[in-house]
Amino acid sequence: MPLPVLARKMQKLASQQLHQLKQLLTGRGFIKFKRLYKIKGELGQGGFGIVYKGVRLSDMLPVAVKFIERRHVREWGRLAEQRVPMEICMLTRCNQLSGVITLLDWFSLPE
């Protein structure tokens, strides 16, 4: 497949995924997320989730927003008596270490 055709197909797929995300974020359960952050586009995806570029609306800080489906979470931990993915537990515990990304927020969204 020629590169321009492949690039157009990839762009269309990314656009469709962003559209699906925007539809997902119109639910009432996402009011807090929408009040605090704005999604700008896709950064990348892997086997467990999709990462979007975004901004925190309070100060326009560029952020990365990662969505992970619950079915892909293999290990769980506890944070403030709530069951959360181990990734969130570890990032919270390592938040002050240099070289570790800073976890600003996390949200539990319905599937």
Given a cut of 80, whether residue 108 has pLDDT beyond it is no
User: Annotated binding site for ATP, which residues?
Assistant: 66
Domain count, the chain: 1
Task: Tell whether 107 is covered by a domain.
Answer: no
pLDDT at 73: 87
Question: Of 43 and 19, which is predicted with more confidence?
Answer: 43
Amino acid present at 67 = F
Where does the pLDDT of residue 15 fall: very low under 50, low under 70, confident under 90, or very high at 90 and above? low
Answer yes or no: is 106 within a domain: no
Its domain, for residue 27, covers 3-72
14 within a domain of the structure (yes/no): yes
**Is the predicted pLDDT of residue 103 greater than 80, yes or no?**
yes
Token pair belonging to 111: 């599937």
Average pLDDT estimate for 64-76: 85
Q: Which residues are annotated as a binding site?
A: 66
Query: Of 34 and 4, which is predicted with more confidence?
Result: 34
Classified as helix, coil or strand, 104 is: coil
Rg (CA), the chain: 16
Residue 59 placed within a domain:
yes
Whether residue 46 is contained in a domain is answered as: yes
In a domain, 55, yes or no: yes
Half-sphere exposure of 87 (CA within 13 A, CB side): 16
